[in-house]
Amino acid sequence: ALRASWRAMRLMGRRSDVEKNWVPFVVDGALLLSYCLDPHIVLRVDPHAMAAAADTADAASEAARAAGENKHSTLKHEKAGACEGGACTIEPVATLTAELAHVSRFARPAGSGSASERPLLRGGTPPVRIGGRFVAFMHTVHRHAGRSLYMLAAYSFERSPPYAISAMTRPFVMGEHGTPYPIGLIVSGRHLYLSYGVADAEWAIAKLDKQRLLEALVPVLTEEVVSEEGDGATGEDEGDVEQDGEAELSALPLQLHFFRGTPNAVRDQVLTTMRAGQSQGVT
């Protein structure tokens, strides 16, 4: 299992029972992840830890086959323990943590308005390299009358730290397709091909003129955010830092997600159970 570090979640100001919209990209062989776009929080996955996690997953799959386990079981999140008499003991796998690497945010000059005036900016496609920058598609979310209006927007960001967002298009819809969600993006000659989902019911591919899209990008002002920990080295014992981080995480509000149409009785039961097990509020 992969999770964001406690420092990244602290910047977000909350925990969540659902992690989504992470955007992976590779720089000089290193796996980086856009965890959030506003502010742009970039995480780094340690390659040695990732290799160890892959080995663990392979061992778990082999143990499952040997034990006759169903191939669709939850063993992808577990590892094999001791096996005696044809029965295997399954032990939980340590969580792989993506560490906070860089943070940048939109600059807000005096009189420019607040972040609340912008739609919510959420991740979408992995980026492609065009010239000296990365280009990707996000989805924007407008909250209105208890509903969420999804739109698409292209954006570019720098190819070097802190990987700040440098330009965006205005949000738009794709023809008559409502509730679009960008999935994949490739470059082929003078065109971009964007795959996207439609209202969680179908998917489509759009052919876009690359030059016209680049011309539609509007430059934005950003600034790097330097955390109190700097590069993460605090001089404290790693075990103490991790314990302090876990304690701080447990104090953050927890955001729960429910499928549309979830019965009120089920929602109430989940909320009651969660509130009984923690001292902080549930959003």
For the cut 50, the answer to whether the pLDDT of residue 238 exceeds it is no
Task: Answer yes or no: do 98 and 126 share one domain.
Answer: no
Query: Is residue 110 domain-resident?
Result: no
Cα dihedral 265/270/273/278 (nearest 10):
-140
Beta carbons within 8 Å of 222's beta carbon, 6+ residues apart: 40, 104, 105, 106, 107, 164, 165, 166
% of the chain residues with pLDDT over 90: 40
Q: Report residue 169 as tokens.
A: 């298009």
Task: Answer yes or no: do 14 and 61 share one domain.
Answer: yes
Task: Answer yes or no: do 187 and 243 share one domain.
Answer: no
Terminal-residue alpha carbon distance, the chain: 24
For the cut 70, the answer to whether the pLDDT of residue 92 exceeds it is no
User: pLDDT at position 76, please?
Assistant: 45
Query: Is residue 68 domain-resident?
Result: yes
The per-residue DSSP string of the chain comes to -EEE-HHHHHHHTSEES-----EEEEETTEEEEEEEETTEEEEE--HHHHHHHHHHHHHHHHHHHHHT--TTSGGGGEEEEEEETTEEEEEEPPPEEEEEEEEEEE---TTS--GGGSPEEE--SPPEEETTEEEEEEEEEEEETTEEEEEEEEEEEESSTT--EEEEPPPB-BTTB-SEEEEEEEEETTEEEEEEEETTTEEEEEEEEHHHHHHH-EE--EEE---TTTTS--SS-HHHHHHHHHHHHHHSPEEP---TT--HHHHHHHHHHHHHT-SS-B-
Task: Answer yes or no: do 2 and 81 share one domain.
Answer: yes
For the cut 80, the answer to whether the pLDDT of residue 69 exceeds it is no
Task: Answer yes or no: do 146 and 199 share one domain.
Answer: yes
Task: Answer yes or no: do 248 and 212 share one domain.
Answer: no
Whole-angstrom distance, CA of residue 185 vs CA of residue 196: 9
User: pLDDT at position 230, please?
Assistant: 47
> Quick one: pLDDT band at residue 147, thresholds 50, 70, 90?
confident
User: pLDDT at position 234, please?
Assistant: 32
For the stretch 245-255, pLDDT in tens is 555 545 444 55
Longest dimension (CA), the chain: 72
Tell me the residue range of the domain where 125 lies.
119-220
Per mean pLDDT, which of 45-59, 123-137, 173-187, 221-235 is the most reliable?
123-137
For the stretch 163-218, pLDDT in tens is 999 999 999 988 776 788 999 999 999 999 999 998 888 889 999 999 999 999 99
> Quick one: pLDDT band at residue 33, thresholds 50, 70, 90?
very high
Task: Answer yes or no: do 180 and 146 share one domain.
Answer: yes
Task: Answer yes or no: do 190 and 232 share one domain.
Answer: no
User: pLDDT at position 80, please?
Assistant: 46
Task: Answer yes or no: do 171 and 247 share one domain.
Answer: no
For the stretch 96-126, pLDDT in tens is 889 999 999 998 755 555 555 678 999 999 9
How many domains would you assign to the chain?
Answer: 3
Task: Answer yes or no: do 240 and 278 share one domain.
Answer: no
Task: Answer yes or no: do 232 and 206 share one domain.
Answer: no
% of the chain residues with pLDDT over 70: 66
User: pLDDT at position 50, please?
Assistant: 80
For the cut 60, the answer to whether the pLDDT of residue 83 exceeds it is no
- Is the distance from CB of 180 to CB of 173 less than 8 angstroms? yes
